Amino acid sequence: MNKPTVVSGIRPTGYLHLGNYFGAVQNFLRMQENYNCYFFIADIHSLTTHPTPENLQSGVRQVLAEYLACGIDPEKSTIFIQSDVPEITELYTFLNMNAYLGELERTTSFKDKARQQPENVNAGLLTYPVLMAADIIIHKAHFVPVGKDQEQNLEMTRKFAKRFNRMYKSDVFPIPKPFTFDGADLVKVPGLDGSGKMGKSEGNAINLYDDPKDIRKKVMRAVTDAGPTEKNSEKPEPVQNLFNLMKIVSDPAVVQQFDEAYVKCEIRYGDMKKQLAEDIVSFTAPIRERIVEILADDAYLAKVAKMGSEKARESAVATLKEVKDLIGFRKLF
Ligand code: ADP
Ligand code: TRP
C-alpha cells in the first residue's frame, strides 16, 4: 500500500529553537518511518523579511545541518531547499489567481507581520499562505506536521486546495490535515519572557545550537513572580509557561515535584530554573555536537541537497503537469 504523504518546512531565518523542535521536527522524526515525507527549507518564504544574501545562504546551510543533526534521514525522507524546486513558484502563481485580497488581509500572521514590520508590508507577506499552500499541495500531501501557530495558514491551504478542485471539477489535490503524532493538540512552546510563544522573531528563543552557558543564562532570566502566597493558587502566565516548558523537556516526576512545591507555596524558582536549564542542556548538547560536525562537511550537505531536490522535483513536475492540463494550457508547438 502507498504510504500517506507528509510535507512540512521551516524558514531559514536563524537557528532552530525548542519551539521548532517540539512543534515540528519531533513529529518529522516520528513520521519518517511510515510516511512518504518531504521536509524542506522555506528560503523563498524567508525573503519576506529581506535577508542579505550572506544571511540567506548561511541560514539555509544551518537549517539543513540542523535537520540532519536532529536525525532526519535523507535516505528515508526527502530533504530539500524550496528554491531548488521552481515548480512550487509556478503553482503559487496559478493559486494566486484564486486567492482573494479580503481573505489574505484577514490572516492573523499577515496582520501580525504588518504590525511588526510596518515599513515593509510587501505583497509576499500578503500571499505567504498561498506559497505555503503550493509547498504542500504540489506533493499532494495528506498531512502537515506544524506547531499551533500555523493552524490558520494550514486552514488557508485546505481552502485553496478545495477551491482548485471545485473550480476544475477534479480531485487532483487531497485536502491536507494538520498532524500531531499521538492525535494530541498542536504544540505551542512558550517563550520565557512572560507571555506568548517561543519564536525567532520574538527574540526569546532557546536554540538547539546555543552553548550550555547561553542556555543557562537564558533560562535563569525567565520571567516569574514573587511566588505563590496562598496554597493551591492558580499560576500566573509567566509561571505557567515555565512549567509548560518543563513538561516538554523534563522527567514527569521532576515536574510533579515542583508542582507540589508550588501548591504548598514552597517553590524556589531559582532551583526550578536550574533544573530546567540542565534538562535543556542534556537534551541539546548532543544535537549541538552533531550540528558542528555536519556544518564542517560541505560535500555531505551538497549531496543531501542535490538528492533531495531531485526527488522533490520528480513529484512536483508530475503534479504541475496535471495542474496545467486542468487549467487548459495547451502547447501550440
Ligand atoms: P519561528 O516562529 O521561530 O519564526 P518558523 O515560523 O519558521 O519559526 O516555524 C517553523 C515550525 O516551527 C512551524 O511548524 C511552527 O509551527 C513551529 N514553531 C515555531 N515556534 C513554535 C512554538 N513556539 N511552539 C510550537 N511550534 C512552533
Ligand atoms: N509558514 C511556516 C512557518 O512559518 C513555514 C512553512 C512554509 C511551512 N511552507 C510550509 C510549513 C509548508 C509547513 C508546510 O512556520
- Quickly tell me which residue has 540542523 as its cell: 66
HSE of 180, CA atoms in CB hemisphere, 13 A: 14
The reply to whether 161 and 111 lie within a common domain is yes
Is 235 considered catalytic here?
no
Q: Which of 140, 148, 177, 200 is catalytic?
A: 200
- Whether 125 is in a domain gets the answer yes
Q: Does the CB atom of residue 9 touch ligand 2 within 6 A?
A: yes
The CATH number assigned to the domain holding 102 equals 3.40.50.620
Q: How far is the CA of 86 from the centre of ligand 1 (A)?
A: 24
Q: Does 77 lie in the same domain as 156?
A: yes
Domain-embedded: residue 279: yes
Which of 20, 26, 38, 66 to mutate for ligand 1's pocket (most ligand atoms within 8 Å of CB)?
20
In a structure prediction context, what are the per-residue pLDDT tens digits for the chain, which is 333 residues long? 689 999 999 999 999 999 999 999 999 999 999 999 999 999 999 999 999 999 999 999 999 999 999 999 999 999 999 999 999 999 999 999 999 999 999 999 999 999 989 999 999 999 999 999 999 999 999 999 999 999 999 999 999 999 999 999 999 999 999 998 877 888 999 998 887 899 987 889 999 999 999 999 999 999 998 888 988 889 999 999 999 999 999 999 999 999 999 999 999 999 999 999 999 999 999 999 999 999 999 999 999 999 999 999 999 999 999 999 999 999 899
* Ligand 1 pocket, residue 147 CB under 6 Å: yes
Question: 170 forms bridges with which residues in the sheet?
Answer: none
The answer to whether residue 111 sits within a structural domain is yes
CA pair distance 135, 88, nearest whole angstrom: 6
Is the CB of residue 200 below 6 angstroms from any atom belonging to ligand 1?
yes
17 within domain boundaries:
yes
For residue 333, being part of any structural domain is answered with no
Task: Mark 48-65 as b/e (b = at least 16 C-beta within 10 Å).
Answer: bbebeeeebeebbbbbbb
Give 23 Cα–ligand 1 centroid separation in angstroms.
Answer: 6
Is residue 197 among the annotated active site residues? yes
Residue nearest to atom 10 of ligand 1 (CA): 10
With beta carbons less than 8 A apart as the criterion, state whether 16 and 207 touch: yes
- Burial call 71-108: b when 16+ CB within 10 Å, e when fewer: ebebeebbbbbbbbbebbebbbebbbeebeeeebeebe
Q: Nearest ligand, CA of residue 144?
A: 2
Phi and psi, residue 51, nearest 5°: -70, 155
This prediction's pTM: 0.95
CA torsion through residues 278, 260, 247, 245, sign:
negative
| Ligand 2 lined by 11 (C-beta under 6 Å) | yes
What range does the domain containing 25 cover? Answer: 5-175+298-327
One domain for residues 45 and 148? yes
